[in-house]
């Protein structure tokens, strides 16, 4: 964090030029945010992270001290190739594990003032394309919580977990957040915002990179976006108040951000795939969509009422799955074509573990044309208790449990295997059946 004075900016609304055009790593949508992982800069070396931010392309510092002031506060820009100067052993300036994507990432700090208001940092950008009012969008980014910095004492009850989140602002003009030290408040003139929460962000201890996102309906044709720490006022309750001879804030926390994605959600998704005839095949809709982690769990409602992203299907045909997000429900249409495919699986329906050397063990017979990735074979008794399990394809069941022989009976089995298809990727298969012990 650093305060700079700029005489060339006379008002809080400024005109900036941004480089346009960047495709996100999501295969089905274009990222509307510029320079999403903060890789594009105009510098070669820098002395401090707050100086480096001034050379960041497409993003601007969006936190100012007082509405009528020309002092702004820059965020920090870190580069894996440019370490923090050794004389600066600050808590939050340790580069830690590096960027989430690429080499660079941005750091934002927030101070909790003893007068009961936040002094946050913020960054802003002009989008590659304006939002369309009424349409739905998803924003997703990587966040790393670097914990909190305690001053003089540890007021655990002073820092509410809800204070530690990110605010996302949208507007038709450039967005700025102001620290009004005289009015004891922090605020922005923009009104359209979202808040991103997660359990890792609300912790007081140092964390690792986590992705968090949410979706929303655009209210206007906004073309500016800002990412800010928590702003506004809060109630100060003793003993959170500190003595006059201490610093004028009692708590500070800090987030790193990286790999920011903003894209428009479609009205529906359509996929075509193949299914092995006569065999249950696993389909993972989340893998097909490449959806990010949401702060509320994503639900996928299948025709059978199940809400898991993974389902084992055994019939060709057309399926409709409802994708339930924070802001809306999107239909997914999955069309499956039946094909004959490897592997060929056979498990006997009876065996006789009597020691005569004939059919003494239960074995699985699998003909593979593709590399085996995983194997799991389980056997259950008539009450559903597990009596045998193996992840080794060469291991057989001898009809015992805890070294005790079963005289006879009917047992159920479940066989799960995964193979690597060069065209279709990892394919999962599930087979079920019953076997009799005969003596």
Q: What is the pLDDT of residue 342?
A: 63
Q: What is the pLDDT of residue 248?
A: 64
Question: Average pLDDT for residues 230-257, to the nearest whole number?
Answer: 72
Percent of the chain with pLDDT over 70: 84
Tokens of 283: 């389909």
Banded pLDDT at 150 (limits 50, 70, 90)? low
Tell me the per-residue pLDDT of 181-193, one tens digit each, with 9 for 90 and over: 777 888 898 888 9
Tell me the per-residue pLDDT of 10-44, one tens digit each, with 9 for 90 and over: 222 222 222 222 223 334 468 999 999 999 999 87
Tell me the per-residue pLDDT of 122-149, one tens digit each, with 9 for 90 and over: 999 999 999 999 999 999 999 999 988 7
**What rounded mean pLDDT belongs to the chain?**
83
Q: What is the pLDDT of residue 296?
A: 77
Q: What is the pLDDT of residue 255?
A: 95
Bridge partners of 141, per DSSP, are 212
Q: What is the pLDDT of residue 249?
A: 66
Q: What is the pLDDT of residue 378?
A: 97
Give the CA count within 13 Å in the CB-facing half-sphere of 379.
Answer: 26
Tell me the per-residue pLDDT of 288-340, one tens digit each, with 9 for 90 and over: 787 777 777 888 999 988 888 888 888 899 999 999 998 999 999 999 998 87
Q: Are 39 and 58 in contact (CB under 8 A)?
A: no
Banded pLDDT at 423 (limits 50, 70, 90)? confident
Q: What is the pLDDT of residue 114?
A: 75
Q: What is the pLDDT of residue 437?
A: 93
Instruction: Tell me which range, 223-232, 312-321, 335-344, 350-359, is most confidently predicted by mean pLDDT.
Output: 223-232
Instruction: Tell me which range, 52-61, 272-281, 286-295, is most confidently predicted by mean pLDDT.
Output: 52-61
Banded pLDDT at 207 (limits 50, 70, 90)? confident
């Amino acid at each position: 964090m650093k305060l700079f004075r700029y005489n060339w900016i006379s008002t809080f609304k400024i005109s900036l030029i941004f480089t346009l055009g960047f495709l996100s790593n999501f295969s089905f949508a274009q990222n509307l945010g510029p320079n999403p992982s903060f890789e594009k800069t105009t510098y070669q070396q820098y002395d401090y992270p707050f100086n480096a931010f001034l050379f960041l392309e497409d993003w601007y510092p969006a936190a100012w001290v007082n509405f009528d002031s020309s002092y702004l506060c820059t965020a920090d820009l870190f580069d894996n190739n440019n370490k923090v100067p050794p004389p600066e052993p600050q808590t939050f300036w340790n580069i830690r594990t590096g960027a989430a994507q690429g080499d660079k990432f941005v750091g934002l700090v927030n101070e909790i003032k003893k007068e009961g208001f936040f002094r946050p940092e913020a960054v802003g950008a002009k989008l590659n394309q304006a939002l369309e009012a009424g349409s739905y969008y998803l924003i997703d980014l990587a966040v790393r919580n670097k914990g909190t910095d305690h001053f003089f004492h540890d007021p655990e009850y002073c820092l509410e977990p809800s204070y530690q989140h990110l605010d996302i602002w949208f507007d038709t003009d450039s967005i700025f957040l102001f620290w009004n030290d005289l009015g004891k408040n922090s605020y922005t003139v923009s009104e359209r915002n979202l808040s991103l929460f997660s359990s890792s962000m609300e912790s007081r201890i140092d964390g690792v990179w986590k992705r968090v996102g949410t979706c929303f309906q655009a209210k206007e044709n906004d073309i500016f976006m800002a990412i800010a720490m928590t702003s506004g006022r809060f109630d100060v309750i003793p003993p959170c108040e500190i003595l006059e001879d201490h610093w004028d804030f009692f708590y500070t926390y800090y987030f790193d951000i990286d790999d920011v994605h903003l894209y428009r959600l479609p009205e529906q998704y359509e996929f075509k795939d193949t299914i092995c005839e006569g065999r249950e095949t696993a389909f993972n809709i989340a893998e097909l969509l490449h959806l990010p982690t949401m702060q509320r769990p994503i639900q996928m409602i299948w025709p059978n009422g199940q809400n898991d992203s993974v389902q084992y299907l055994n019939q060709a045909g057309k399926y409709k799955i409802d994708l339930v997000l924070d802001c809306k429900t999107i239909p997914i249409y999955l069309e499956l074509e039946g094909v004959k495919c490897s592997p060929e699986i056979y498990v006997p329906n009876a065996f006789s573990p009597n020691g005569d050397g004939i059919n003494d063990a239960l074995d699985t017979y699998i003909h593979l044309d593709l590399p085996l990735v995983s194997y799991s074979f389980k056997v259950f008794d008539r009450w559903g208790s597990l009596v045998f399990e193996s992840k080794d394809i060469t291991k057989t069941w001898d009809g015992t449990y805890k070294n005790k022989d079963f005289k006879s009976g009917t047992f159920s089995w479940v066989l799960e295997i995964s193979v690597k298809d060069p065209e279709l990727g990892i394919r999962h298969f599930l087979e079920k059946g019953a076997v009799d012990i005969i003596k």
